[in-house]
């Protein structure tokens, strides 16, 4: 499977740390020192997950030089769909990709990496030749904007990567590992509320709805700095690759301190660690493809470059992959 195109889309509105401090008891220095985040994008009334994802896909198709009709699969990684029955088919309709099957995959901040690995299996099996893998989330709809522990972290965004079947020499997924630990699920949740509605007699049914995002920040941080280096070490060893052979470290953009800790573990210099946290915050499933698109467009990531990537978050879930970019530069 070759990675041959990318695209992204962001809401127009940017909320700075200073602006957020007008609502909650926080300030720019407090947020930056703990997270590295300076601002985040928030979707407006005319922006939806579907519209942002469709725009990102349009850019990715143009970057790859493909028509929508050439697609076989559209796989959307999201934890905040516009429709719980599935948002990917809406994106398919927006694109006019009439030959593609489209469905959602939910794995929170690990979602894009898991979706990319899943797509690779379809391509390896021969049932798919061309696909779009999307990471998109609109977590602003599920944030408690009066909780300074979480509201400073999350933002909205969408990005997509175009992938296609290739010969072994052009393979863009050189190795991977995936992990889950449901015993630690309570560390980061977007759980259903326990509201009930009367049905018949003493029988009641649960009323649909979700509580705001809840996170134990200290536990998630400890989990990430322990598990991410371990899973990446496994991937690199399996691929026969040394850390000094990497061109870039491309991690889920959750916290700058996590990025720095992983880079230090592998002795990757700061200039080879891709980060856009300061501008966008944590966009969940969108962070990895959003960062990739930015780095490809500005010329940092070039054809043939190898990137060690890891997604990690709610579930708890995490994974690592060694990627190689094959698409155009810029």
pLDDT in tens, 50-85: 999 999 999 999 999 999 999 999 999 999 999 999
Q: Is the entire prediction scored with pTM above 0.85?
A: yes
Same domain, 178 and 134: no
**DSSP secondary structure letters along 194-211:** --EEEEETTEEEEPP-BP
Residue 316 included in any domain: yes
Active site residue 109: yes
Supply the pLDDT for residue 329: 77
Final residue before a domain boundary, out of 106, 141, 170: 170
The pLDDT, as a whole number, for residue 50 is: 98
Question: Based on the domain organization, do 290 and 257 belong to the same domain?
Answer: yes
Query: Is residue 143 a part of any domain in this protein?
Result: yes
Q: 120 and 23 in one domain?
A: yes
Query: Do the domain assignments include residue 193?
Result: no
Residue 94 and residue 270: Cα distance in Å, rounded?
39
What pLDDT is attached to residue 330?
Answer: 75
b/e for 26-49, b at 16 or more Cβ within 10 A?
A: bebeebbebbbbbbbbbbeeebbb
Residue-wise pLDDT tens digits, 122-162: 999 999 999 999 999 999 999 999 999 999 999 999 999 99
Question: Average per-residue pLDDT in the chain?
Answer: 96
Q: How many domains does the chain have?
A: 2
Task: Evaluate whether residue 200 is within a structural domain.
Answer: no
Residues of the chain short of pLDDT 70, as ranges, are none
Nearest of 77, 137, 116, 147 to residue 280 by alpha carbon:
137
Counting every residue written for the chain, the total comes to 330
Q: Could you tell me if 292 and 311 lie in one domain?
A: yes
Domain of 251: which CATH number? 3.40.47.10
Domain boundary among 170, 198, 230: 170
32 and 159 part of one domain? yes
- Give yes or no: residues 155 and 40 share one domain: yes
Instruction: Select which of 109, 187, 255, 305 is catalytic.
Output: 109
Residue 54 has what pLDDT?
Answer: 98
CB 139 within 8 A of CB 157: no
Range of the domain at 266: 173-184+212-324
**Is 252 one of the annotated active-site residues of the chain?**
yes
Same domain, 102 and 162: yes
Residue tagged active-site, from 57, 252, 255, 305: 252
Q: Where does a domain end: 170, 200, 220? A: 170
In a domain, 199, yes or no: no
Considering the domain architecture, whether residues 159 and 248 belong to the same structural domain is answered as: no
- Tell whether 36 and 102 lie within a shared domain: yes
Q: Does residue 293 lie within any of the structural domains?
A: yes
Asked, for residue 285, whether it belongs to a domain, the answer is yes
Residue 192 is assigned to a structural domain of this protein:
no
Non-local (6+) Cβ contacts of 304 within 8 A are 324, 325, 326
* Distance in angstroms (rounded) separating the CA atoms of residues 26 and 22: 8
Residues 179 and 306 in one domain: yes
The reply to whether 124 and 272 lie within a common domain is: no
What is the reported pLDDT for 328? 87
318 and 252 within one domain: yes
Residue 244 catalytic?
no
């Amino acid at each position: 499977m070759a990675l041959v195109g990318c695209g992204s889309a962001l809401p127009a509105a940017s909320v700075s740390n200073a602006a957020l401090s007008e609502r909650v008891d926080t300030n720019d220095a407090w947020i930056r020192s703990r997270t590295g985040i300076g601002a985040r994008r928030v979707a407006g009334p005319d922006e939806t997950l579907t519209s942002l994802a469709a725009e990102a896909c349009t850019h990715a198709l143009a970057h790859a030089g493909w028509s929508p009709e050439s697609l076989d699969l559209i796989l959307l990684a999201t934890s905040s769909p516009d429709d719980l029955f599935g948002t990917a088919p809406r994106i398919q309709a927006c694109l006019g990709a009439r030959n593609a099957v489209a469905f959602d995959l939910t794995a929170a901040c690990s979602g894009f990496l898991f979706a990319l690995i899943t797509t690779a299996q379809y391509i390896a099996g021969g049932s798919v030749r061309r696909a779009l893998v999307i990471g998109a989330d609109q977590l602003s709809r599920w944030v408690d904007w009066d909780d300074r522990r979480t509201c400073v972290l999350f933002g909205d965004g969408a990005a997509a990567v175009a992938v296609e079947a290739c010969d072994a020499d052009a393979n863009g997924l050189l190795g991977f590992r995936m992990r889950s630990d449901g015993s630690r699920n309570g560390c980061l949740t977007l759980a259903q509320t326990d509201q009930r509605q009367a049905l018949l007699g003493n029988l009641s049914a649960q009323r649909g709805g979700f509580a705001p995002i809840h996170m134990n920040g200290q536990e998630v941080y400890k989990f990430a700095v322990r598990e991410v280096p371990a899973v990446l070490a496994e991937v690199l060893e399996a691929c026969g690759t040394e850390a000094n052979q990497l061109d870039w470290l491309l991690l889920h953009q959750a916290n700058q301190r996590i990025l720095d800790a992983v880079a230090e573990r592998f002795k990757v210099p700061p200039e080879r660690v891709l980060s856009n946290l300061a501008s966008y915050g944590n966009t969940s499933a969108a962070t990895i493809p959003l960062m990739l698109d930015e780095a490809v467009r500005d010329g940092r990531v070039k054809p043939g470059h190898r990137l060690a990537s890891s997604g990690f978050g709610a579930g708890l879930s995490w994974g690592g992959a060694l990627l190689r970019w094959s698409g155009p530069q810029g």
